[in-house]
Structure 1
Amino acid sequence: MSVASRREVIGGLLTALMARAGSASAASADDDVPAFTTGRHQLTLLRPQQSLPAIRLFRLDGGTLDLAALRGAPIVLNFWASWCAACRIELPELDRLARSVARQRLHVLAVSEDRSDRDSVGRFVRALRLTSLSICLDPNGYVAQSGDDGGRPAPFTLYGMPITYLISASGLIVGYLPGAADWSSSAAADLLEYLGRN
């Protein structure tokens, strides 16, 4: 066997070993993510994990919020609508979560996908007595969309309503959970702790 052939064989073996090691480390990273299920739904992990894009959200109380500025702490990013029955159940849970972690490094955001005006969303939020949860608006579907919205891509996909995306402290979108979740459960606490470490 010539020297060039040996180099090609050794190079091919090294490439294969590195690819195997990379996929094993990716699998072990996924294995570390605590399981979180709720009702009929479970946390779906994104593979590969994606970086949180620079997005500016409109706050219900006025002004904007830059998601990229929140890196360094985990983010629970929930998408909801006033017509969604499960959202009426989950939003108070998220409000309690936001209240309980107010002094900790965790951001809990709820983005309304209602196409109605700010006042209508505000009345809905007041009716549910949500006081600790950061409420944002996405009336034009620039942040999240379901299916094809005229060719304008949005960074988050709505596979159901409500749906929550979980973002690690390092700014990676770990996965999503469709449906209303029990955010007071020990499984939720384990998942949030994981997000804070990664």
Structure 2
Amino acid sequence: MRKLVSALLYTSLALVANGALAESTPPAELTGEMSALNWHSEPRELSDMAFQSRDGAETTFADHEGKVLVVNFWATWCAPCREEMPSLAALQDEMGGEDFEVITIATGRNPPAAVDRFFEEIGVDSLPIYMDNSMKVARSMAVLGLPVTIVVDKEGNEVARLTGGADWNSAEAKALIQAMVD
């Protein structure tokens, strides 16, 4: 009897574990730079703290509910951010709309003039500019270095994150986003 109970217990645990693994599987094969995405075994809630648009209006992630999001935390002094930002702009230009959006959040001390100069120097004018000067949003989301990019599902949960730069305009990134939108 004891062996039967043990067998049932282990079988149940295996089924639960396999179910959890299935839920943590990305909706598309992660290859290239996207294979560095840390896909979470369980979706994580986003911060409900407000961040500001370039004109000072407060917004939250809930204001973008129902969309797949690529949220990029960056700073004007960050060299990898400078390299990565044009690919985020290209991703937004190609795929942005009703179901998907790229959100860039300058975190820390990033004076508005420096932010404007940053975007002008890299030739990006199609991304919304959000600010987290106090770093409260970044800290609440455990952003410990820059750049950090967070992938958010339609339900408003963080499902993956990448620390460091990547080509977000790659075929792999687009396939991932398209699979999440569909």
TM-score (norm 1): 0.78
- In structure 2, do the counterparts of structure 1 residues 180 and 32 end up closer, same or farther at CA, with 3 Å as the change threshold? closer
Conserved 8 A contact 1:95-1:132:
yes
The letter of the residue matching 1:181 is A
**Corresponding residue to 2:36 among 33, 42, 52:** 42
- Mapping for residues 47-86 of structure 1, pairs under 5 Å: 47-86=41-80
**Corresponding residue to 1:168 among 149, 153, 156:** 153
Residues in 1 aligned to 2:104 and 2:175: alpha-carbon distance in whole angstroms: 21
Instruction: Name structure 2 gaps, 5 residues minimum.
Output: none
Displacement of 1:86 after TM fit?
Answer: 1.2
The aligned residue for residue 25 of structure 1 is 19
The aligned residue for residue 116 of structure 1 is 110
- In structure 2, do the counterparts of structure 1 residues 36 and 144 end up closer, same or farther at CA, with 3 Å as the change threshold? farther
Displacement of 1:194 after TM fit?
Answer: 2.9
Residues in 2 aligned to 1:135 and 1:104: alpha-carbon distance in whole angstroms: 18
TM-score (norm 2): 0.84
Instruction: Name structure 1 gaps, 5 residues minimum.
Output: 2-8, 146-153
- Mapping for residues 127-146 of structure 1, pairs under 5 Å: 127-145=121-139
RMSD: 2.6
Q: 1:45-69, CA deviations, whole angstroms, 9 ceiling, x for partnerless residues? A: 2232212232322111331222112
Displacement of 1:13 after TM fit?
Answer: 7.5
1:190 and 2:175 aligned? yes
The letter of the residue matching 1:96 is A
Displacement of 1:16 after TM fit?
Answer: 5.7
> What is the percent sequence identity of the aligned residues?
27
The aligned residue for residue 141 of structure 2 is 155
Displacement of 1:104 after TM fit?
Answer: 4.4
Higher helix proportion: 2
Q: 1:134-156, CA deviations, whole angstroms, 9 ceiling, x for partnerless residues? A: 111111110113xxxxxxxx123
Q: 1:156-184, CA deviations, whole angstroms, 9 ceiling, x for partnerless residues? A: 323x3211010111222111112221122
The letter of the residue matching 2:146 is M
Residues in 1 aligned to 2:133 and 2:48: alpha-carbon distance in whole angstroms: 18
Q: Number of residue pairs matched?
A: 180
